[in-house]
Chains A and B, each alone.
Chain A
Amino acid sequence: MNVVEFTGLVGVGSLLAGFLGALTGLGGGVVVVPMLALLFHVDIRYAIGASLVSVIATSSGAAAAYVREGYSNIRIGMFLETATTAGALAGAAIALHVPTSAIAIVFGVVLLYSAYLSSRQREEHGPHLTSSPLAKKLRFDGAYPTSEGKQPYAVTGVPAGYGLMFGAGVLSGMLGIGSGAVKVLAMDQAMKIPFKVSTTTSNFMIGVTAAASAGLYLARGYIAPGITMPVMLGVLLGSMLGAKLLVRVKVKVLRYVFAAVIVALGIEMIFNGATGRI
């Protein structure tokens, strides 16, 4: 396989990953890394570097569309970014020092957990109405648009959310994924922030989180231009197409198919890690 063929195949694969990631809301990174590692036998550290960069592209590219709708809460996002960026630095430092087989196993477990999360029925909770003193002090309260006008919400559980956000950062820096699922978990479940606000604020934060570890990866020579070029362009184009289609397509069946793919990839990552093939 020469450079042209490699670039073309990786580009098409990344386009598909970005497309499915946008449609299902799981992001492209969870598929890109296993694809590069398992299918193209790319060293997992190169794969993580390339994926991180594509995560920045999709998150930053979509941010404009999200903020226009008025859901994301910039104060909550910025405060929690102190946790995610610190976590991302720690995660990148871990990834640079542990054996690649260990990274592969952790990646596999995270894949299985994401599949579980995406298949689970999410229980809606109404907006939380009393802020904790800390949330009040940090001025987290906001309002989001609904069909009946602006709906105010309050925030609680700041320490738990902050801790989870640090964990999300570690996973992002270590595995090259956006870890949007953990970020949403922290805001939606721990801090009782309305789901729509949680998802859009999470998307807003993903790019900044990934930039923290991407800088470290670049400075250490883990970002290879020849791989990252098709991955970044492919995922970006794919996720843009996916976001355009999102309103018109029934995603329920697709979610199950994607969850099945993720389970298969997760098992294979764990197997390859455990047997020392990655």
Chain B
Amino acid sequence: MNVPTTSTVTSGQWNDQRIEIIIGTLLRTGVILAAAVVLAGGALYLVRHGHEVPNYTTFHGEPERYKSLTEIVEGVTTLQARAIIQFGLLLLIATPVARVLFSAIAFALEHDYMYVVITLIVLGILLYSLFGSS
């Protein structure tokens, strides 16, 4: 991918089109990475639990180990299949969050402070949903 990295771009060269292309590449990389992690976790899950009978008809909510951030990471270190899947899904959810963060930085480099504020509002809502609600 012939997209300039942040370090090679001086602030004078910033413009919307360039920012968008970098952001787009960032998003795609995040999705590919997340899909790879989910695939790996999924393969492990099928090998280990393939012959169990799934029951999703009644809702009982996922246990703490598949919904708390720290416990998911802990599960990954012990190679728990479903924790690895959840980690991949977390990466996926983090991709748009990263893109919003990156936009805030880009608007700051453009000295467009009104949009820095607008972008930080969006970022705040996203972070609240991930960390503030439980």
Contacts and interface: CB of A to CB of B under 8 A. Distances in A.
Interface of A: 1-4, 6-7, 40-43, 45-46, 53, 56-57, 59-61, 63-68, 70, 72, 74-75, 78-79, 81-82, 85-86, 88-89, 92, 100, 138-139, 207-208, 210-216, 218-230, 232-233, 236
Interface in B2-53: 16-17, 19-21, 23-25, 27-28, 30-31, 34-35, 38-39, 41-42, 45-46, 49-53
Contacts of B126: 85, 208, 211-212, 215
Per DSSP, are chain A's interface residues mostly helix, strand or loop, or mixed?
A: helix
Contacts of B78: none
B24 to A, nearest CB: 3
B89 A60 contact: no
Interface of B: 16-17, 19-21, 23-25, 27-28, 30-31, 34-35, 38-39, 41-42, 45-46, 49-54, 56-59, 61-64, 66-67, 82-83, 85-86, 89-90, 92-93, 95-97, 99-100, 103, 112, 114-115, 118-119, 121-122, 125-126, 128-131, 133-134
Contact of A230 (B20, B42, B115, B128): B42
Nearest to B95: A60
29 contacts: A3-B50, A43-B58, A46-B56, A53-B89, A56-B92, A60-B95, A61-B27, A63-B28, A64-B27, A68-B21, A79-B118, A82-B121, A139-B112, A208-B96, A211-B97, A211-B126, A214-B129, A215-B129, A215-B130, A218-B86, A218-B89, A220-B67, A221-B62, A221-B64, A223-B62, A223-B67, A224-B56, A227-B56, A236-B35
Contacts of B20: 67, 72, 74
Given A63-B24, A207-B95, A220 B61 contact: yes
Contacts of B125: 82, 85-86, 89, 212
A245 to B, nearest CB: 19
Given A67-B20, A81-B100, A216-B133, 6 more contacts: A2-B52, A3-B45, A60-B92, A88-B129, A221-B64, A225-B45
Contacts of A213: 129
Nearest to B100: A208
A86 B121 CA distance: 10
A60 B24 CA distance: 8
B118 A232 contact: no
A117 to B, nearest CB: 25
A65 B1 CA distance: 13
Given A4-B46, A233-B42, A78 B51 contact: no
Nearest to A85: B125
Contact of A74 (B19, B52, B128): B19
Given A208-B100, A214-B93, A233-B38, A226 B54 contact: yes
> Which of B24, B53, B114, B115 has the most chain A CB atoms closer than 10 A to its own CB?
B24
Nearest to B99: A208
B124 to A, nearest CB: 9
Given A66-B24, A82-B125, A60 B118 contact: no
B108 to A, nearest CB: 13
A211 B128 contact: no
